[in-house]
Amino acid sequence: MIDSLLLELMLVGLLGIGSQWISWRFRLPAIVVMSIVGLLAGPVFGLMNPEQDFGNLYSPIISLAVAVILFEGSLNLDFKEVKGLGRPVFRVVTFGAFISWVLGLLAAHYVAGLSWAVAFVIAALFIVTGPTVILPLLRQSKLKPRPAKILKWEGIIVDPIGALLAVFAFEITEFLVGTNHSPMALLSFFLAAIFAVMLGYACGKGVGWMFETGYVPEYLKSPVVLTVVIACFTIADEITHETGLLSVTAMGMTLANMHISSIADMKHFKESISLLLTSTIFVLLTASLTRETLLQIFNIEIIGFVLLMLFVVRPLSIFVSTWGTDLSRPEKLLVGWIAPRGIVALTVSGYFAGVLLDAGFEDASILISLTFALVFTTVVAHGFSIGWLSKKLGLSMEGPPGVLLVGGSKFTTKLAKALQDVKVPVLVSDSSWERLSSARAEGIKSYHGEILSEQTEYKLDMTPYEYMLAATEFDSYNALVCTTFVPEFGRNNLFQLSLSKREGDKLEDLVHTIGGRVLSKVGASWEELNTMVEHGYVFRRTNITERYTYRDYLNNIDDQAIQIFVKKPSKKVEFFSEEIEARVEQGDVVVSLTPPKKELEKIQEKLERQRKAKDKQPEAESE
């Protein structure tokens, strides 16, 4: 056991972020890795017990972290996003949640062996999925937009609703079979829930107004939002337990639909905070479990309950609630399977386990084991199956990493064609139909619209594209595009053309701090690249083999050729750049923009053959 609390905090952070890195590096579900790491650090090897070590601070830390995570998720709930999906989403978060509650109640009573009162409370809680588990899965699975949006909205909306339903169910239980028979308790609960929504809405409107009118300086905006979120959650939660989650969700949705530029800028900060909190909190929760809790998971009643929740309750609730909507059968199958439970289920069940035990319900002692069994099973089952199932159902965007080219021109058209030839998905985007005409004539997928427009977020699905090349004739615009999309693509996957050598803005001092990597080692500008294409330069593929190495390729390449990218056997693409050396190995395909010497030689050879053939014809006639 670690004696130092500071050392324990450091270890929790390292384990959480380390789990995220391992999941990224080996393409594993992050939640699964974090759960296993927490179990190893806690009940298995006994290195820590955060709940015991943190004492009275443990529950407030978890609660505040969940509030921030839920707020960050609700910042993405823009009503424009569900255009055309309003009916299925509404059905899932209302009728679907109710059906899941009823079926979960029956399963908890008849299979898990819980009393009606305890089953009534815990079944309400188990309708939640939550952003802490859904959002990481969606990031890794590359689902198509429709099922991804339904799962995201359900996870964020139902999270606070499930916690509130559990509180409501407990109040009903107290009213019916407990010592408190006053209807005022139920009325006060409803009033507290309404107050929480109004408080969240007021906080969101207030913060938005202050930002729009300039009452908060730029450097204070993120701290102000974080402080207001904590205050909003705490005030509501102190009045009635778990209404704080509803309050921060209302605040986040209010800000999301005000479309304030400052909030959009802060999303990236909030996402980083949310990622850190999710990583550490999951480790804290799993490390705090006891060995007795883990052993209790293997009871036949708990196993039966978990299997029913996975294979009966969830699929049935989705199929019944979405009956008559335009969701396809594969979409219903996927949404009906994916429902991992997360942090809210674990934390709130721990709270109700204690409350129900104090109220005299002895069977509540298994609630923590029951909840962890459901959380861990769903996280593992859904985390490992979402990619495979989505591919089988045709709902996955999984495939070779694609390239998004910003700016239509002769060069981008030829580059797109070269990418297509090596089976790399490609899209050319431009706000001008005229500049897109050459790409459209070649049958290349294109998007007509301003890439920096807010509407693009809802109209263009960027999931298949891992690389972006800003290739317009305006250097400042290229830099702006790359800087804007750093959070989505990562700076290593963003490229722009070299700065123009014409007179105008002097951007040389800015290129090192903003924008993306400069394409190619020689750094050819827009004018140079398009001039080359106009003069007949072609994109040529060269296979690097054991007999023809990359060194041989460099010795034979034309001095005027420009190396553009490398296609790896793993289907990944590496662009040549001034900042980083592309690794070229055996089995790679190198694509370069080269002078048309070989093509000219072939034409000359063809013309020569035709001339010789004509010369022979008179001889044959004379004979």
358 and 424 co-located in one domain: no
Return phi, psi of residue 85, to 5°.
-120, 10
Cβ atoms of 393 and 334 closer than 8 Å: yes
Alpha carbon distance 449, 472 (integer Å): 14
Are 590 and 507 within one domain? yes
**From edge to edge, which strands make up the β-sheet containing 426-430?**
446-448, 426-430, 402-406, 465-470, 494-496, 517-518
Tens of pLDDT, residue by residue over 212-262, are: 888 988 888 888 999 999 999 999 989 887 788 889 989 988 998 888 877
Taking the C-alpha atoms of residue 230 and residue 68, their distance in angstroms, rounded to an integer, is 8
Q: How many Å is the maximal CA-CA distance in the chain?
A: 123
- pLDDT tens for each residue of 430-480: 999 999 999 999 999 999 988 988 667 667 778 788 899 999 998 889 988
* Measured distance CA(61)–CA(343) in Å, rounded: 12
Contact criterion met (CB below 8 Å) for 74 and 270: no
368, 392, 416: which is the final residue of a domain?
392
| 238 shares a domain with 167 | yes
610 domain residue, yes or no: no
416 with 72: CB under 8 angstroms? Answer: no
Give CA–CA dist 248/203, Å, rounded: 9
348 & 442 share domain: no
Among 34, 14, 10, CA closest to 343: 34
The answer to whether residue 621 sits within a structural domain is: no
Let me know if 300 is exposed, middle or buried by CB neighbors in 10 A (0-12, 13-18, 19+): exposed
Q: Considering the domain boundaries, does residue 239 fall inside one?
A: yes
- CATH number of the domain at 542, please: 3.40.50.720
The sign of the CA dihedral 365, 370, 371, 372 is positive
Cα separations (Å) of 479 from 3, 198, 356, 374? 50, 42, 58, 47
Q: Are residues 11 and 107 in the same domain?
A: yes
Cα within 13 Å of Cα(507), Cβ side: 21
Q: Which two tokens stand for residue 211?
A: 């930002």
Residues in a beta bridge with 426: 403
- Side-chain half-sphere exposure of 275, counting CA atoms within 13 A: 15
Query: Does 371 share its domain with 434?
Result: no
Q: Are residues 342 and 440 in the same domain?
A: no
Residue 104 placed within a domain: yes
Residue type, 572: K
Residues near 327 by beta carbon (within 8 Å), at least 6 away in sequence: 88, 146, 150, 335
Does the CA dihedral 92-95-96-97 come out positive or negative? positive
CA distance 297 to 295: 5
Encoded tokens for 484 = 């804007």
Answer yes or no: do 223 and 305 share one domain. yes
Neighbours of 277 (CB within 10 A): 22
β-strand 494-496 against 517-518: which pairing, if any? Answer: parallel
What is residue 511's predicted lDDT score, i.e. its pLDDT?
47
Residue 319 shares a structural domain with residue 414? no
Token couple for 489: 């693509």
CB contact at 8 A, 229 and 71: yes
- Angstrom distances, CA of residue 239 to CA of 194, 225, 242, 421, 497: 12, 22, 9, 63, 57
Closest CA to 134 of 346, 339, 378: 339
Vertex 417 angle, CA 413 and 420, to 5°: 140
First to last CA, the chain: 105
CB neighbours of residue 215 within 10 Å: 11
Measuring CA to CA, how many Å separate 100 from each of 6, 125, 483?
Answer: 42, 10, 44
Share of the chain above pLDDT 70, in %: 88
Same domain, 419 and 355: no
Work out the angle between the directed axes of helices 329-337 and 314-321 (0-180°, nearest 10): 140
Asked whether residue 152 falls in the same domain as residue 213, the answer is yes
Among candidate residues 109, 177, 110, the one with its CA nearest the CA of residue 356 = 177
- Distance of alpha carbon 42 from alpha carbon 1, whole angstroms: 9
Q: Are 131 and 187 in a shared domain?
A: yes
> How many Å is the Cα radius of gyration of the chain?
30
For residue 504, the tally of other CB atoms under 10 A from its CB is: 11
Q: Which parts of the chain sit beneath pLDDT 50?
A: 511, 621-622
Domain that holds residue 501: 402-604
Residue after which a domain boundary falls, among 359, 392, 425: 392
- Residue 217, domain member (yes or no): yes
Residue 58 maps to which CATH number?
1.20.1530.20
Question: DSSP letters along 326-354, please?
Answer: S--HHHHHHHHH-----HHHHHHHHHHHH
Q: How far apart are CA 425 and CA 518, in angstroms?
A: 21
Tell me if 60 is assigned to some domain. yes
Whether 361 maps to a domain, the answer reads: yes
Q: How many structural domains comprise the chain? A: 2
Domain termination site, one of 347, 368, 392? 392
DSSP state for residue 492 in the 8-state scheme: G
- Per-residue pLDDT at 344: 75
